Each structure stands twice: as C-alpha cells, then as structure tokens.
A and B are shown apart, each in its own frame.
Chain A
Amino acid sequence: MSNVTYSIIFYLFAAITVFSAAFVVFSRNVIYSAFSLLFTFFGVAALYVYLSADFIAVTQIIVYVGGILVLLLFGVMFTNKIMMTKLRTDVINMVPGLAILAAVVGGLLTIFYTRADWVTSATQLQGSVVESIGIETMSRYVLPFEMASILLLLALIGAAFLARFDKAHNKER
C-alpha cells in the first residue's frame, strides 16, 4: 500500500477518535455518551497500531472496551432506576469551564511545542514486540508488575467482601 493510503486511513481513524470523543462530551444522554466511547477507544487502538504497538492496541481493546466500558454501561443501566435520576446532563458553568479548558489545553500545547524532546530511534523496530514485553516485564520491571498484581488482588478481595451476602445483618431484620 502506498503512503497516501496509509495517511488517509490514519486521518480517518484520527477523525473517528476526535469526533466520537467530542460526542461523548457534548451528548446530553449518558447512555449515548457511553456507547460513543466505544468508537473513541477503537480509534485510539488504531492509532496505537500506527505506532507499531499492536500488543498495546489489543490490550487497549480488552481492558477499555471489554472491562471499563461494560462496567460503565452496567453502572448507568442499573443505577438510574434506584436513584430515579434522568439520564441527561445539563450544561452548567459555561464560562468558567471554557476558561479552564482554554488554560489547560493552551498550557499543555505550549509545553509540548517548547519543551518536548521527541526522540526518534535510529534503528527500526524488528520482529515481535510481544517477546520483548514479556522479557522486560519479568526482568527489569518485575517489581512494579508484582506491585500492580497485589493492588489488583486487594481490589478483588475488597469487591468480594462488599458484595458478600451479609448473614448477620439479615437475621436482625
């Protein structure tokens, strides 16, 4: 495939990412925002593929689409009846919000332009990334990896404890 085709596909994915992200923010309906987030996550995964990070792209889909998005949808679908809230959001505090947005985005962009030190690797990426990721995780980054797994285990135990059927509490009633 020619470079032009690559660029066209890249800009297509970039457009999908940006427009769906904008829809997430501007949609009044929370459910629509959540579904629109699907396209944002997929667009970002496609951009990872353009960076030759295919492992991260697939991980992005598994973690964000399969985990976080489903959790988000479950949360919205289950809780709206309990809280009796409408699935709509209103625009409030327009002026301060815009001011903060302009300040943050402007600040970030200025820093990127002036300070960022983009490193271009001299050697092209060779072979599979998966193997090097595995070896690095099990050697140089083994401590952070284990710490993350312990944190996740704690979260799992905590969730199971909270969701457990409370026998003592039920007897009192």
Chain B
Amino acid sequence: MNLPNLVPMFMTMNLNSWSDALAGWMPYGLPLGLVIIAAIPLVFIALYALTYGVYGERKISAFMQDRLGPMEVGKWGLLQTLADILKLLQKEDIVNRDADRFLFVIGPGVLFVGSFLAFAVLPFGPAFIGADLNVGLFYAMGIVALEVVGILAAGWGSNNKWALYGAIRSVAQIVSYEIPAAIALLCGAMMAGTLSMQQFNLLQQGEYGFLHFFLFQNPIAWLPFLIYFIASLAETNRAPFDIPEAESELVAGYFTEYSGMKFAVIFLAEYGSMFMVSAIIAVVFLGGWNSPLPNIGTVLLNDWTTGPVWGAFWIVMKGFFFIFIQMWLRWTLPRLRVDQLMYLCWKVLTPFAFIAFVLTAVWEIYMK
C-alpha cells in the first residue's frame, strides 16, 4: 500500500482501521508501518515518563509534604527531568569488577522489554490497537513473567547481597500477587465474555457514559476492582508494597549497583508497567477509551466526546488518574512487613477474590 491509499483510510473511523492501514504501509517494500506501530508506545512511555512520571511523582510528593519540589530548571522546574536525562546520558557506564557482566547488562533490557511488550495489546482508542489478539488480556497478564526474569538477572548479576535480596523479595511478591490479580481480572473477563482488549471497550460503550462501565454494571464489581488495584500495586513494586527496594534496609533493592542509562532504563520500565496496570484497570472495569460523560437530554456530552482522538485522551487520562492514586498512596501509607505482605496476599486477597469470582458468576448466570 502506498501513501495516497493511506490518506483516505485515516479519514474513516472504523475499528482498528488506522493500525491496519499503518501495518500495511510498506514504502519501497520495507515494512516501515510495523516499525512505526512498535514505536508509538515506546515514544509514549518515554514522553509520559519524562513529563508526568518522574516530574509528577516529585511534585506530588513535594506538595504532600508541604514542599515545593523541583523549581530551578525551567518554569516550576518543568525541565528538571530533561536535565536529569541529559545527566544520565553523559554518565560513565559502570559495570562492577565482580559482577556477572553478561547478566548485569541484559537484566535491564529484559526488564524493559517485559514491561513494553504488554503495550502491544493496549487499545489507545477506537481506531488504534497494536495487535487485537483474542487472548489480549491473558497476554497482558502473562507477559509480566518476562519482567520477573529480568529482575532476577539484574539482582543476581550485580553480585551484591542487597541486590539479590531485593530481587528475590520482588519476584516472590510478583509471583504471589499474580494469583489474586488474575482471579480479579477473570471476574472482568466473565462479565465481558471475551479476552480481547478491544471487545472489552466495545461492550462498555453506550449513551449513558459511565453507567455502561463494568464497575457500575454489577453490584459486586467493586470487589474484583479493588483486589486488582491492590494486587497491581504489589506487582509494580509500588508502596505500600515496596519492600523489594526498601531504602532503609536494602539501599535500592535489585538496582542498587546500576547507574547511568541502565538505571534510567530500569525506571522507564517501572513507569511503563505502572501505566500498563492502570490501563488494564481502565479497560476491564472503567470502559477504556469510552467517554464517561452521559448524554443528558439534548446535551449530547457522550457523542461530543467520542472519537479516535478523544478515545486516546480518555484512556490516557484514566491511566494517569490511577497513577496519581498510586503516587498518592506511596506518600501516605507506611511500608508493609514481609509477613504482613504474604498474609494480605494469601489470607485476605485470595479468598476475597474467590468470593468475588463465585458471586460474579452467580450474578452473570441468574440475575442478569
């Protein structure tokens, strides 16, 4: 497909039409379109980690502690993160003498690829999704496994006790919290009857806006929603579940020995997976790219705020909202102890996830 054919396809608003057209775009026989599709989430993560992630986290923590946060570089310190990135780029690439060189180097890479792969199935709007797999949700949940291996590689490769402890704690935590998270998402999948991320959004479309979201379609849906949100905090190693990088005990956990760009890549991966879990919550329970505004009489708020660009806006905003809550919790709650962490996972979240599963099944079969 050449360029003139591509332009009319941008005009239509069919599902996936943009991404399909882009995938078929092969100037000079080179699959450039596929490269662009892969680059969109990458550019998105980089931009958001720069603008909202790091800067937002520093500003939010500062305001919560009655400070000002970064103020020197640019207006309100807006260019602080750019300056930080420039600094990190210039730093020497240090590999410890006693580190396992190979694992130390591939660790951050595997970690980043793991967090980045899930973006393939994230619907950025009614017309754009990287790959509309019919096992999309299952894939997004399972690909986290790669991150686990990256963390272990980084922790073991550093040849440092803090790093190894941090890695092992982190992996134990991610592996345990996958169970309540998976069961909670299964409740959402039961309500939708599909695993395709784009189908989830289509099923929550409607003129009454947020009333069509699965969270408000079912009286028990808040339970799996809460369980998944708590478990997702643990899966991304965010406070109050940040014992893998507990500063007071382990310096920085599995990335203690990292500096320069490798450190930046680890952070990019962390912010990437923070957005991914937030987007999964948004897609499964809160309508993904659907507008939450209802049509009221002749004021067609829902129709006015629906479309490919609005879709991208809504899903990104819903993601940012949950990231804001994650940051809010981080600067509010104290850290859990290891035994409390395991108690919460196995004796609280998992049984409640099973209860939510059974209740959702009963509701779907008998009540609806």
Using an 8 Å CB-CB cutoff, how does the interface string of A11-31 with B read, 1 for contact, 0 for none? 000000000000000000001
Complex-state Cα separation, A2 to B179, whole angstroms:
40
Cβ A35 vs Cβ B134 within 8 A: no
Using an 8 Å CB-CB cutoff, how does the interface string of B319-357 with A read, 1 for contact, 0 for none? 000000000000000000000000000000000000000
Cβ A129 vs Cβ B143 within 8 A: no
Chain B: interface secondary structure? Answer: helix
Q: Is B102 engaged at the interface, CB distance under 8 Å to the other chain?
A: yes
By a CB distance below 8 angstroms, the chain B residues around A129 are 134
Cβ B139 vs Cβ A58 within 8 A: yes
Cβ A70 vs Cβ B139 within 8 A: no
Known: A5-B31, A31-B156, A74-B168. A58 touches B103 (CB 8 A): no
Q: Is B142 engaged at the interface, CB distance under 8 Å to the other chain?
A: yes
Complex-state Cα separation, A21 to B139, whole angstroms:
24
Cβ A61 vs Cβ B102 within 8 A: no
By a CB distance below 8 angstroms, the chain B residues around A69 are 145, 149
Complex-state Cα separation, A128 to B192, whole angstroms:
15
What interface size band does chain B fall in? Answer: 20 to 34
By a CB distance below 8 angstroms, the chain B residues around A65 are 145-146, 148-149
Candidates A1, A35, A59, A77; contact of B168 at CB < 8 Å: A77
Q: Is A130 engaged at the interface, CB distance under 8 Å to the other chain?
A: yes
Q: How far is the CB of A51 from chain B (nearest CB, A)?
A: 14
Q: Is A38 engaged at the interface, CB distance under 8 Å to the other chain?
A: yes
By a CB distance below 8 angstroms, the chain A residues around B146 are 38, 42, 61, 65
Q: How far is the CB of B206 from chain A (nearest CB, A)?
A: 24
Within 8 A of A (CB), among B112-153: 133-135, 138-139, 141-146, 148-149, 152-153
Q: Which residues of B contact A (CB under 8 A)?
A: 31, 100, 102-103, 106, 110, 133-135, 138-139, 141-146, 148-149, 152-153, 156, 164, 168, 171, 175, 178, 194-196
Q: Shortest 6 CB-CB distances between A and B: which pairs?
A: A66-B145, A62-B142, A65-B145, A128-B134, A58-B139, A61-B142
List 6 contacting pairs A-B, 8 Å CB cutoff, sorted by A.
Answer: A31-B156, A55-B138, A61-B145, A66-B145, A73-B156, A130-B135
